[in-house]
Chain A
Amino acid sequence: MATSGLNLLEVERLKKYFPVRGGVFLRPVAHVHAVDDISFAIRPGETLGLVGESGCGKTTVGRCVARLYDPTAGAIRFDGTDLAGVRGAALRRLRRHIQMVFQDPFESLNPRHTVGTMLEEPFKIHRIGTAVERRQSVQSLLDRVGLSANAADRFPHEFSGGQRQRIGIARAIALNPRMIICDEPVSALDVSIQSQILNLLLDLQRESGFTCLFIAHDLAVVRHVSDRIAVMYLGKIVEITDADTIYATPLHPYTRALISAIPIADPAAKRQKQVLPGDVPSPSAPPPGCRFHTRCPHAAGICKTVEPALIPAPFSPAPDHRVACHRAEELMKKK
């Protein structure tokens, strides 16, 4: 993976395993391979979308980058510094630059704090500004996210899902972080509110230039806000390229199936829908070889025994397109 001074975030061979405990002594009897050796980089100001279905590990990646989990292995470098080795005051300083917006607007806000208290907290923790200045910052934040000034005196339960998400976003941008991790920020919202929140995120990014890791299962939403997209399956990145190419020229059979499965809001769009058989295997017992081979319509002998590496695809029209599939080139030429 290209390690260059130009990247704000570099994730290298990240692994996160969770023990499954059993028996009288609750010893680990198995491990959930939530994230299993992934590498990617994000340039300043760029948005990388991370997309995949349940159990693919995308949320775990986000939490590792936010240092909410300690990785089992691998390195996460933010502006050159490996996050793994950072503790205490240094970690606190770093945290102001890596913020997170969560999925559930109902659970991610403290129900016993007013909005004003919540938004003042980051300033207090990092000892920024006087009390008066903090309150002004809160007002300015509320304005930036489209909430009225009197929101500061109210409690989360008084707001709708979309408004609570705005509060969560205000909290995330409070200290002008360099990077924001969005974990399914709009999945819990109604369609007509989703577009409001997506517009807000795009506007804020245009204004502040923050870098973004955007995690979601909805490829259309991810594509709309991202510059590049990584598709994950069972703990691995199976394909990574720019957002237009992933849609125009998907190379991995899973990416193709994912795109095909998305219902199109247009009855006139008649197409051959590719329906993948079976279920996603358990992440505590991933299949040997290529993890996708049990559901792949193109699985060959080698797919069942040899795990494909995520390697550049020179046969793709895009300049930077990596895919983990033994038959990617062959399948592309077949079409």
Chain B
Amino acid sequence: MNAGTLLTVENLSVSFETEAGRVRAVDRLSFEVRHGEVLGLVGESGCGKSVTALSIMRLLPKPSGRIDSGRILFGGRDLAALPPEAMRSIRGRRIAMIFQEPMTALNPVHTIGRQLGEVYGLHHPEMDRPAVTAASLAMLKKVGIPDPAQRMGQYPHQISGGMRQRVMIAIALACGPDLLIADEPTTALDVTIQAQILELITTMQQQNDMSVMLITHDLGVIAETCQRVCVMYAGTLVENANVATLFDRPAHPYTRGLLDSIVRLGNRRKTKLPTIAGMVPSLAELPPGCRFQNRCPRVMDICRNVAPSLVAVGPEHMASCHAVEKELP
């Protein structure tokens, strides 16, 4: 752990109770978020990226969701072991989160003003009403909402999707958190609105000297907004690198397959697209060994028996793959 680390996830394992029994949604995950950076967490459905975010925020559904083991180190404390009252003073104040669907994340029967004011009420009870209103207006203005005074009295359904996302960002940043977790913040938005929101998140990150953990399935978003990235697959971390390295020298076969299968604007049209054969295994029926084995072009015997570990493949570059490990000097 270096001096620039803000949050460290150490061997985190999370499981859920399902009809098929206890299912491991995240398995021995380790990574860190550094001061002032935008870290991307990328992967497809079921990879565990959202579960990771919810675990950090201690927002896993109870009683089915559970942190089985591991630590989440933040500000000298292990968030995974914190009692609820202590976590409440961190959630929304030191670490904040925004979600994919602002319409479901915002309360439909409360005005924007009331929802924004609630954050101040929770974490800054010393502020009186005029102060809260003034701070709320300033926050709405900061996130680029036109005519903030009018918005304060409106309800979520009265404003557009992009506007709702801005409100959610305003609520998240109201108390100046050290870390913003953004879980697919633009996936439900049109691409031109996505560009606005990503620009806003980047600006806020720079202005407030904050770190951002950006969760997405879109590698284009990762390339444009993140400094470092973690690639997840079926609940495990398969690769961790800074952005330039990941796109230039992807090590893990899954990362390579993913990058190859992206439909790019500049490609030759109507050609056969590279794909990753097969599909993500059900988390309830995982084979022993590497979780990627049944889709991997480089699968070896050891992959079917022994799960690979994260090893360094270059400066600031780690991957979890037997084939890659074998090639290391």
Do A and B form a real pair?
yes
Whether A267 contacts B243 by the Cβ 8 Å rule is: yes
Tell which of B5-13, B83-91, B191-199, B314-322 binds the partner. B191-199
* A207 interface residue per 8 A CB criterion: no
CB B48 to nearest CB in A, in angstroms, measures 14
Name the interface residues of B264-311: CB closer than 8 Å to any CB of A: 264-267, 269-270, 272-276, 279-280
Majority secondary structure, B binding face: helix
A-side contacts of B219, CB under 8 Å:
191, 265
Whether B192 contacts A258 by the Cβ 8 Å rule is: yes
CB B228 to nearest CB in A, in angstroms, measures 11
Residue of A whose beta carbon sits closest to that of B200: A275
Tell which of A23-31, A62-70, A127-135, A213-221 binds the partner. A213-221
A-side contacts of B259, CB under 8 Å:
265
CB A176 to nearest CB in B, in angstroms, measures 21
Whether A265 contacts B264 by the Cβ 8 Å rule is: yes
A-side contacts of B161, CB under 8 Å:
54
Number of interface residues of B (CB under 8 A): 46
* A190 interface residue per 8 A CB criterion: yes
Whether B273 contacts A244 by the Cβ 8 Å rule is: no
Whether B263 contacts A221 by the Cβ 8 Å rule is: yes
CB B274 to nearest CB in A, in angstroms, measures 7
Alpha-carbon gap, A224 to B191, bound state (A) = 18
* A199 interface residue per 8 A CB criterion: yes
B-side contacts of A259, CB under 8 Å:
265
* A193 interface residue per 8 A CB criterion: yes
B 211-246 to A, binary, CB cutoff 8 A, 1 in contact else 0:
000000111111110000000000000000001100
Name the interface residues of A209-232: CB closer than 8 Å to any CB of B: 217-221, 223-226
A 256-276 to B, binary, CB cutoff 8 A, 1 in contact else 0:
011111111111110001011
Name the interface residues of A232-250: CB closer than 8 Å to any CB of B: 243-244, 247
Whether A265 contacts B247 by the Cβ 8 Å rule is: yes
Whether B223 contacts A224 by the Cβ 8 Å rule is: no
B-side contacts of A279, CB under 8 Å:
160, 162-163, 193
Contact A199-B270, Cβ < 8 Å, known A265-B262, A268-B244, A273-B195: no
Contact A276-B195, Cβ < 8 Å, known A191-B258, A266-B247, A267-B247: yes
* A284 interface residue per 8 A CB criterion: no
Contact A224-B274, Cβ < 8 Å, known A192-B258, A265-B262: no
Contact A261-B223, Cβ < 8 Å, known A192-B258, A195-B275: no
Alpha-carbon gap, A269 to B224, bound state (A) = 9
Most B Cβ at <10 Å: residue of A199, A264, A276: A264
Alpha-carbon gap, A218 to B44, bound state (A) = 18
Interface residues of B (CB under 8 A from A): 44-45, 160-163, 190-196, 198-199, 217-224, 243-244, 247-248, 257-259, 261-267, 269-270, 272-276, 279-280
Partner of B265, one of A53, A191, A219, A275: A219
Residue of A whose beta carbon sits closest to that of B227: A267
CB pairs A–B below 8 angstroms (10 shown): A162-B279, A194-B261, A223-B269, A262-B265, A263-B198, A263-B220, A264-B264, A266-B223, A266-B247, A279-B163
Alpha-carbon gap, A226 to B263, bound state (A) = 13
Contact A223-B265, Cβ < 8 Å, known A191-B217, A262-B220: yes
Contact A190-B224, Cβ < 8 Å, known A220-B264, A261-B191, A273-B195: no
Partner of B199, one of A192, A247, A275: A275
Query: Given known contacts A196-B275, A220-B264, A244-B269, what 19 new A-B pairs fall within 8 Å (CB)?
Result: A53-B193, A54-B190, A190-B217, A191-B219, A192-B275, A192-B276, A198-B273, A202-B272, A223-B265, A224-B267, A225-B270, A258-B191, A263-B194, A263-B224, A266-B223, A267-B224, A267-B243, A268-B248, A279-B163
Residue of B whose beta carbon sits closest to that of A55: B190
Whether B275 contacts A199 by the Cβ 8 Å rule is: yes
* A160 interface residue per 8 A CB criterion: yes
Contact A53-B191, Cβ < 8 Å, known A191-B262, A265-B223, A265-B264: yes
A-side contacts of B269, CB under 8 Å:
223-226, 243-244
Alpha-carbon gap, A261 to B223, bound state (A) = 13
Alpha-carbon gap, A225 to B267, bound state (A) = 11
Name the interface residues of A256-309: CB closer than 8 Å to any CB of B: 257-269, 273, 275-277, 279-280
A-side contacts of B192, CB under 8 Å:
53, 257-258, 261, 275-276
Alpha-carbon gap, A265 to B120, bound state (A) = 38
Partner of A247, one of B248, B261, B265, B280: B265
Whether A220 contacts B44 by the Cβ 8 Å rule is: no
Partner of A192, one of B196, B220, B261, B272: B261
B-side contacts of A193, CB under 8 Å:
279
Alpha-carbon gap, A161 to B223, bound state (A) = 27
